[in-house]
Each structure stands twice: as structure tokens, then as C-alpha cells.
């Protein structure tokens, strides 16, 4: 700013006041209501976490006395599975968070009173899936995202059904009926 | 009144996080003018406030008369404003942005 010396005293006083009584928010929002939301990607991300747990399980232990080339190969696969698990658990959180924050309105949560708890559960479960190789936690994450997806479509008056993912991972996804 | 800016729709003139003093008495004396930056109640969500610029004002208006104002964000591409919610009534305008602090 151009006049810091003149501004400073009043400014400092006002900012001190802000700390006691916060200012109101004047929204200059990037609120383009594009209105396109879909919980599909969150479910794919949760399925990917399950798949990575499966691949890590299938990889087994590094054989004793493995050659350097074989050990490199094993470590490379293991690292990639963990990296993708991390990435997709985080993607799952992000997708759910955006729909939860940008799409859901108070009137929706009046009907779906457990929505906030479901989202909170998803955040916790996704983090648990990053911290651990835990097939059960991965299934719980998918189940929670199913609940979230069903609630999302319900707010639009769209009935849902569960159908097989038809992917190597198995499992189901919630889609409009 | 003290306000803090949130969001990019008034960039580059006003950036997120900037603190503003808003003169709530400004429009008791006279009508809002084109080009002035104002805080107004969000017509679609009355519990919150928007920061916009007056783009069109009713012509030749005596101060006490109530009219309709067209408000726009400076950063049109990312702004939800009168293009979306239509013109706003004078009573919805809280005040004029007076200075930063």
C-alpha cells in the first residue's frame, strides 16, 4: 500500500479491534454456479484405495536373498502402490469436500441429518487408509462414500442403486437408478 | 463498519483478506453513484454480504427516492452479481467502501 506511515496507527488500532470483534465478511466470491457435481469420482478413488491394498497384499514379502534387480523391482512396485493409495485417499477427500461444501445447502442437511457425520467419517477413514495398509478400513471408506453418494442423489430427487464396479477390484458403486 | 474481503471477484482493486471500512451513512445523504464500490446484502442469501461495484444507477434520482441498482464484480469471469440475481434495491446496499485499513 502507498501510505503506510499515515495508515499505520489507525490501521493498527482497527486491526487490534478485529482481533476482539472480527469484521464481517464481504463476499467477492468465485461463485459461478456451474452446478455440475458427481460423487462418482470419490467412489472410484475409494475403490482404487481398496485395489492398492489388494496389490500390496498380493506382492507378498520381499524374498530373502533376492537379487538386486528383483529387490529393486519389488520395492518399485511397493512404492508405487503406496503412492497411488495416498493419492487416491486424498482425492476421495477432496471430491467429497467440494460436493459437501459447495453443493449441499441447509435444506438438504435438514433431511439428511447425518450428512456432516458421514463426511467427517470419510475424512477420518481416508486418512486412516493413508496411514495404514488396512483392507477393512478401505471397505469402510467405500461404504461411507456410498452413503454420501446416495444422499447427494436423493437431494436431486434421483433414486440410486448399487451395481458391481465391473473392475478388477470388485466391489460396488452407487449410481442413479 | 469493518469488513474483510473474501474471494476474487473484485480483483485487482480488492483482494481477499483486505480489511475495509464501510460508510453506512454515505447513502443517507445521497444516492449511490455508478463506479462506487459498495457492500450489499446478498439477494439470494440475506445472511451474508457481497462486495460489488455499482454499474447502473437510476437516472436523475433525488436522494430519498428508492431505485434499483445493477451491481457487478470487477472480475466478471468469476463474479456472481446482478447478471445472475438481477438489480438490487437501494435498501439492500449497506454502505459505500470508504477506505482500507
Specify the CATH number of the domain B2-100. 2.10.109.10
Residue A148 lies in a domain: yes
Q: What is the pTM of this model?
A: 0.57
> Which residues of B belong to the active site?
9, 52
Q: What is the mean pLDDT of chain B?
A: 86
What span, in angstroms and rounded, lies between the C-alpha atoms of A4 and A38? 48
Domain segments of chain B as ranges:
2-100
What's A106's domain CATH number? Answer: 1.20.120.400
Residue A41 lies in a domain: yes
Tell me which of A141 and B84 has the higher pLDDT. Answer: A141
What span, in angstroms and rounded, lies between the C-alpha atoms of A14 and A22? 10
Are A29 and B6 an interchain contact pair (Cβ–Cβ within 8 Å)?
A: yes
| Placement of cell 471477484 in the chain | B9
Whether the per-residue pLDDT at A130 is higher than 90: the answer is yes
| Closest CA relative to residue B9, chosen from B86, B70, B71, B98 | B71
- d(CA B88, nearest CA chain A) in Å: 16
Residue A63 lies in a domain: yes
Mean pLDDT of A52-77: 96
Q: Tell me how many domains chain A contains.
A: 1
Whole domain around residue A86: which residue ranges? 37-176
Residue A131 lies in a domain: yes
Whether the per-residue pLDDT at A1 is higher than 50: the answer is no
Residue A28, pLDDT score: 84
A10-62 pLDDT per residue, tens? 888 999 999 999 999 998 865 555 567 899 999 999 999 999 999 999 999 99
Residue B8's pLDDT band (cuts 50, 70, 90): confident
Whether the per-residue pLDDT at A122 is higher than 50: the answer is yes
Nearest CA in chain B to A105: B45
C-alpha cell at B60: 436523475
Query: Considering chain A, what percentage of its residues have pLDDT values greater than 90?
Result: 81
Residue A88 lies in a domain: yes
Amino acid at each position: 500500500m502507498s501510505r503506510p506511515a499515515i495508515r499505520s496507527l489507525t490501521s493498527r488500532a482497527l486491526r487490534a479491534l478485529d482481533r476482539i470483534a472480527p469484521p464481517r465478511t464481504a463476499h467477492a466470491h468465485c461463485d459461478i454456479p456451474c452446478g455440475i457435481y458427481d460423487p462418482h469420482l470419490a467412489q472410484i478413488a475409494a475403490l482404487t484405495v481398496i485395489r492398492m491394498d489388494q496389490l500390496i497384499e498380493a506382492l507378498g514379502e520381499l524374498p530373502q536373498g533376492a537379487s538386486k534387480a528383483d529387490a529393486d523391482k519389488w520395492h518399485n512396485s511397493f512404492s508405487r502402490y503406496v503412492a497411488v493409495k495416498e493419492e487416491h485417499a486424498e482425492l476421495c477427500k477432496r471430491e467429497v469436500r467440494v460436493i459437501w461444501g459447495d453443493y449441499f445447502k441447509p435444506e438438504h442437511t435438514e433431511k439428511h441429518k447425518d450428512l456432516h457425520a458421514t463426511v467427517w467419517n470419510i475424512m477420518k477413514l481416508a486418512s486412516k487408509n493413508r496411514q495404514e495398509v488396512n483392507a477393512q478400513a478401505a471397505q469402510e471408506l467405500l461404504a461411507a462414500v456410498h452413503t454420501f453418494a446416495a444422499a447427494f442423489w436423493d437431494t436431486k430427487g434421483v433414486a440410486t442403486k448399487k451395481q458391481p464396479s465391473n473392475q478388477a477390484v470388485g466391489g460396488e458403486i452407487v449410481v442413479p437408478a | 463498519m469493518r469488513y474483510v474481503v473474501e474471494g476474487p471477484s473484485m480483483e485487482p482493486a480488492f483482494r481477499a483478506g483486505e480489511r475495509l471500512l464501510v460508510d453506512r451513512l454515505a447513502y443517507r445523504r445521497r444516492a449511490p453513484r455508478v463506479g462506487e464500490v459498495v457492500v450489499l446484502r446478498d439477494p439470494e442469501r440475506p445472511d451474508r454480504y457481497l462486495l460489488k461495484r455499482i454499474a447502473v444507477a437510476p437516472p436523475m434520482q433525488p436522494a430519498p427516492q428508492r431505485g434499483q441498482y445493477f451491481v457487478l464484480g470487477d472480475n466478471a469471469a468469476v463474479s456472481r452479481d446482478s447478471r445472475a440475481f438481477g438489480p438490487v434495491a437501494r435498501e439492500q446496499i449497506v454502505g459505500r467502501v470508504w477506505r482500507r485499513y
